[in-house]
Amino acid sequence: MKRCPTCNRTFTDKNLSFCIDDGTPLIPVPDDESTVVSPSSQTSGSGASSSKSPGSNWSTPAYTPPGSYVPPGSTKPQRTWPWILSALIIVLLVVIGLGVALAVMVPRILRASANRNRPSATVNLGNRNDDESHSTSRADENANENANTDTNKNANTKSDENLNPPPTDSAKVLSDLTDLENEWTAANINADKKALDRILADDFVGTFEGQQQGKKQYLREIQRDASIDKWDFEDLKVNLNGDRATLTGIVKYVVRGAEQQFRFVDKFTWRDGRWQATSSDVDSIK
């Protein structure tokens, strides 16, 4: 049995250590509480039991302020999962922050490296280093280069025309175009593409028996013809109009002893100081 020295309440529960009313530590109670006497009565030797008095010295413990009572077995273990969850959330936030920083910084570093490795522009535009200024400068440079090139071409063409103007004598033109026709025929028979490339203008269009072909196709499909023994031109006439001339006539081929005749209309233009064929229309005479 235990007793509260404050409220003198007794408890039979052996597991209790504090008073459930005021929290005072309990003290054990002897089986026969009447045998408890004060020390003074024992020392007097009278053997008579003295009654309790306010001044008597009882062997009671000193008063202790009541504390908070915690029933036995009621202590709960601390949970650790909230701390673990908080740590995981912090780690996740740190990883996300690093990912965002890398996503922002890496492209900037790459652009800066590309700008360092890019060759400097030939035109100084002061403090304008943005892409738009570079694009504009390059576009202006290209436009200026093209304009200068066109101007130079036109100037060279005009200077060539001034130095080598087209002939105005029809007889001279007829003689020159006759020589050019013989050279053209020999280049066709021998498939001399270099000579044909010089005789034919870039915009040349040929028509043979109603079939048309441009210069590239003409040069690509030309083949050497060893069956022609000789050729000759007849009834040649020229129509001169400034830097343009039209030559008409008949060409006769001797192919393995047999004669073949073709009527033609060839047109020429005076370019780069010489006559160049721009078109040819040929039909066979049967």
Distance CA 205, CA 43 (A): 154
* Chain centroid to CA 172: 65
Distance CA 31, CA 256 (A): 159
Q: What are phi and psi of 232, to 5 degrees?
A: -160, 150
- Lowest-pLDDT range, 62-76, 129-143, 236-250? 129-143
The reported pLDDT for the residue numbered 17 is 81
Residue type, 222: I
| pTM, full prediction | 0.45
Is the sign of the CA dihedral 226, 227, 230, 231 positive or negative?
Answer: negative
Residue 59: CB partners within 8 Å, gap ≥ 6? 36, 39
Tell which phi-psi region holds residue 45, choosing left (phi > 0), alpha (psi between -120 and 50) or beta. left
Quick one: which of 228, 230, 238 has its CA closest to 178? 238
The reported pLDDT for the residue numbered 279 is 95
The reported pLDDT for the residue numbered 226 is 87
What band does 217 get if pLDDT is binned at 50, 70 and 90?
very high
Residue 133 in this model has a pLDDT that exceeds 50:
no
Question: What is the third-level CATH fold of 170-285?
Answer: Nuclear Transport Factor 2; Chain: A, (3.10.450)
More confident residue, 158 or 130: 158
What are the tens digits of pLDDT across the range 134-178? 444 455 555 555 555 555 555 555 555 557 899 999 999 999 999
What are the tens digits of pLDDT across the range 83-104? 888 899 999 999 999 888 888 8
More confident residue, 108 or 121: 108
SS3 4: coil
Domain borders along the chain are 1-45+56-73, 170-285
Q: Encoding tokens for residue 273?
A: 């100081």
Q: State the average pLDDT for the chain.
A: 76
Q: What are phi and psi of 197, to 5 degrees?
A: -65, -30
SS3 169: coil
* Sheet of 228-241, strand order: 211-214, 200-208, 274-285, 258-271, 244-255, 228-241
* Burial of 66: CB neighbours in 10 Å, binned 0-12, 13-18, 19+: middle
- Give the CB-side neighbour count of residue 166, counting CA atoms within 13 A: 18
The reported pLDDT for the residue numbered 194 is 95
Residue 205 in this model has a pLDDT that exceeds 80:
yes
- Lowest-pLDDT range, 54-58, 92-96, 242-246, 258-262? 54-58
